[in-house]
Structure 1
Amino acid sequence: MPEYERTVRVAAVQAEPAWLDLDAGIEKTLRLAAEAKEKGAELVAFPETWLPGYPWFLWLGSVAWQSQFIVKYAQNSLVLGEEHWNRLAEGVRALGLTVVLGYSEREGGSLYMGQAIISPEGRTLMTRRKLKPTHVERTQFGEGDGSDVAVVDTPVGRVGALNCWEHLQPLTKYAMYAQQEQLHVAAWPSFCVMQDGAYALGAEVNVSASRVYAVEGQCFVLAPCGVIGDAAHAAFGGDPERDALLGRGGGHARIFGPDGRSLAEPLAPEEEGIIVAELDYAAILAAKNAADPVGHYSRPDVFTLQVRREGRLPKVLELPLSGEAGAAAGAPAGAPVGVAAGTEADEELAGLLAAAE
């Protein structure tokens, strides 16, 4: 049962990543986490794909032009449980606070837009992947699954996280609210790309999405945000057209209360730093008294939501190539089972497929 008679101090990062440099990114992560700790924060949250930085090159040119960044981006993505991950976890343990981290995850040869919650003891409390990468992100990143829609117990209460435009997905949000989320991390990459041509990518729309999440879910929302500066232009720019598309600044980190009010003074869009706020969880009870869409303000007799929580491992189904089933079907030795419709082999194949579903 969530505890509401407590206060916690939290921090949201607004900073420029160390683009395409995992080692430098980990150093900057721990430096900012130490700064948050010095300010009394018990939890600090980082932007979307903070490590090794959001792949802005996906928005700036043709697929052929983008290809120059693909291998380096993959090489500087985190592999869970390996050297860089362990170094990061040990650094968090030494600092002694909870960290909610955004990163590009590499598993095998595939990349995913990951988030993790790391405890003050350096333990991984949760990892997740963005359920559906947005627009051009789908050319680089795979999808998450139902196991990634999770809220977990942490030293600062029940905490969950989503990336960027997952905050425009009503069913995903409702599944999070239903888990009695107290503190939500809404991680964003930056809000300055294509400023003149894509209003929906800008700060006004997306800061509002973070605020609406707080009001809808009656929870506190911590919205870390990346910044685009000289380093980003050095990495991805290089000509006037791309520089204009990329823009500068875009940092709009925020902290919202469950009634939608802003709880921390924002930084300037081009400024790097940390915003901090003291959260009183009793405010959640006050907000839920007025509207609790997963409680007294819901109609479960009219609407239901089903979530499939299967894990992310691929299913591998081994089918016999020969033997009794093949012989029963009259198939030659070594032939695939089920070559003749209506045979016992077909029935066995159907049973195997049904069991795998």
Structure 2
Amino acid sequence: MQSAYRVAAVQAEPVWLDAEATVEKTIGLIEEAAAQDVALLAFPETWIPGYPVFLWLDSVFGQMPHIARYHANSLSVDSAHLTAIRHAARRAGVTVALGYSEKDHGSLYISQTLIGADGGVLLHRRKLKPTHVERSLFGESDGSHLKVVDTPLGRVGALNCWEHLQPLNKYALYAQHEQVHIASWPTFGLAKGIAYALSAEANMAATQTYALEGGCYVLAPTQVISERGIELFATTDQQRALLTAGAGNSRIFGPDGSPLGKSLDEHAEGLVVADIDLSLIDLAKNAADPAGHYAKTDATRLLHDNRPKPAVVRPGELTGPLFPDLDEFDTDSAAV
């Protein structure tokens, strides 16, 4: 296992509701990360095809002009789009934590896939409970999606957005001895100055707390929204008042909660980069290991049911591969 290496959190604007163009941008960011010797690159929540800010701007019926397009530009796990990103990760030799809207037939899920430097899939998970109005578009998952996996870069786990406000979700990952955590967020340009709970300040505080509580490194990528993006979603003055350009706030935190790397202006696109050393986790956990010596099992314990709960169970299906073998595809494929 590699102990010391470079990581990066993306801060960028997707090409809203356009999977093909955002995949091209994704591949460009992977190549940019490789040029900076980044070993692990993290993308925001629903980076492809962009966070559905329209859910917060109108009634369910008012959202309908965007729904079909959002479905059409969401990625299935065996899609050519996702395969192109896996090839890009392998060419660059970069491990990629990708956030996207996953299309599974008629349903969508807020998903994260950890792609290894060889293009293989190390982890695939879905957000357990979509937040508030997100439930009108996305489905839920189960306890099998609270998972930390062994990788060449250490034990890696991931959560999306307000899953970081669910204490039991967090503890389920802490208890799996997570070393590097991907905390994927959308843009904080929604209801800026109106709803503090949706602000960068509040949610980065939760992210920093995750690093301190879990004694792990945390990569927190975020999206940027430009005036062009606002024009796409906001058609009335009331809707425009709910969206503010910029609001990127990508961060990296160390296992003692300290900020790492140089942050970007909220309007800027790029990478927040930091060098990390997993051996420092031992120092942090020497003081407080929440699921180890600092636990109090006679007082409180977590029941984590990690069994998959599919709607239909057929013999043999649960053991079959979810993602196709990358070698089945043209190894020189770079785009779709």
Alignment TM-score, normalising by the size of structure 1: 0.86
- Identify the match of residue 117 of structure 2 among 106, 117, 120: 120
For 2:143 and 2:288, locate their aligned partners in 1 and report how far apart those are by CA, in whole Å. Answer: 26
Q: Displacement of 1:210 after TM fit?
A: 0.6
For 1:316 and 1:265, locate their aligned partners in 2 and report how far apart those are by CA, in whole Å. Answer: 48
Contact 2:100-2:111 at 8 Å conserved across structures? yes
Deviations 1:259-284 (A, max 9, x none): 11111111011111101100011211
Match of 1:299 in 2: 296
Match of 2:258 in 1: 261
Match of 1:187 in 2: 184
Q: Displacement of 1:109 after TM fit?
A: 0.1
Contact 1:98-1:155 at 8 Å conserved across structures? no
Q: Displacement of 1:239 after TM fit?
A: 2.9
Between 296-305 and 216-225, the greater mean CA deviation after superposition: 296-305
For 1:231 and 1:154, locate their aligned partners in 2 and report how far apart those are by CA, in whole Å. Answer: 39
Contact 1:57-1:66 at 8 Å conserved across structures? yes
Partner secondary structure for residue 259 of structure 2: coil
Q: Displacement of 1:238 after TM fit?
A: 2.9
Number of residue pairs matched by the alignment: 314
Partner secondary structure for residue 245 of structure 1: coil
Query: Where do residues 281-296 of structure 1 align in structure 2 (5 Å cutoff)?
Result: 281-296=278-293
Q: Displacement of 1:155 after TM fit?
A: 2.0
**Larger relative contact order, structure 1 or 2 (CA cutoff 8 Å, min sep 6):** 2
For 2:313 and 2:78, locate their aligned partners in 1 and report how far apart those are by CA, in whole Å. Answer: 24
The residue identity in structure 2 corresponding to 1:280 is D
The answer to whether the aligner puts 1:101 opposite 2:98 as a matched pair is yes
The residue identity in structure 2 corresponding to 1:241 is Q
The residue identity in structure 1 corresponding to 2:22 is G
Contact 2:94-2:117 at 8 Å conserved across structures? yes
- Identify the match of residue 32 of structure 1 among 29, 38, 58: 29
The answer to whether the aligner puts 1:130 opposite 2:127 as a matched pair is yes
The residue identity in structure 2 corresponding to 1:6 is S
Q: Displacement of 1:316 after TM fit?
A: 5.8
The residue identity in structure 2 corresponding to 1:295 is G
Contact 2:11-2:271 at 8 Å conserved across structures? yes
Between 223-232 and 14-23, the greater mean CA deviation after superposition: 223-232
Deviations 1:162-208 (A, max 9, x none): 00000000000000001111000100001121113211100111010
The answer to whether the aligner puts 1:217 opposite 2:214 as a matched pair is yes
Task: Return closer, same or farther for 1:316/1:297 CA change in 2, 3 Å cut-off.
Answer: closer
For 1:247 and 1:287, locate their aligned partners in 2 and report how far apart those are by CA, in whole Å. Answer: 38
Match of 1:198 in 2: 195
For 1:235 and 1:151, locate their aligned partners in 2 and report how far apart those are by CA, in whole Å. Answer: 37
Structure exhibiting the larger radius of gyration computed from Cα positions:
1
Match of 1:339 in 2: none
The answer to whether the aligner puts 1:230 opposite 2:224 as a matched pair is no
5+ residue gaps, structure 2:
315-336
Task: Return closer, same or farther for 1:144/1:61 CA change in 2, 3 Å cut-off.
Answer: same
Contact 1:221-1:256 at 8 Å conserved across structures? yes
Partner secondary structure for residue 260 of structure 2: coil
Identity of aligned residues (%): 52
Q: Displacement of 1:312 after TM fit?
A: 4.4
For 1:223 and 1:284, locate their aligned partners in 2 and report how far apart those are by CA, in whole Å. Answer: 18
Deviations 1:58-81 (A, max 9, x none): 001121210000011001001011
Partner secondary structure for residue 300 of structure 1: coil
- Identify the match of residue 274 of structure 1 among 266, 271, 275: 271
The residue identity in structure 1 corresponding to 2:303 is Q
The answer to whether the aligner puts 1:68 opposite 2:59 as a matched pair is no
For 2:73 and 2:310, locate their aligned partners in 1 and report how far apart those are by CA, in whole Å. Answer: 23
Match of 1:143 in 2: 140
Q: Displacement of 1:129 after TM fit?
A: 0.3
The residue identity in structure 2 corresponding to 1:302 is A
Q: Displacement of 1:88 after TM fit?
A: 1.8
Partner secondary structure for residue 246 of structure 1: coil
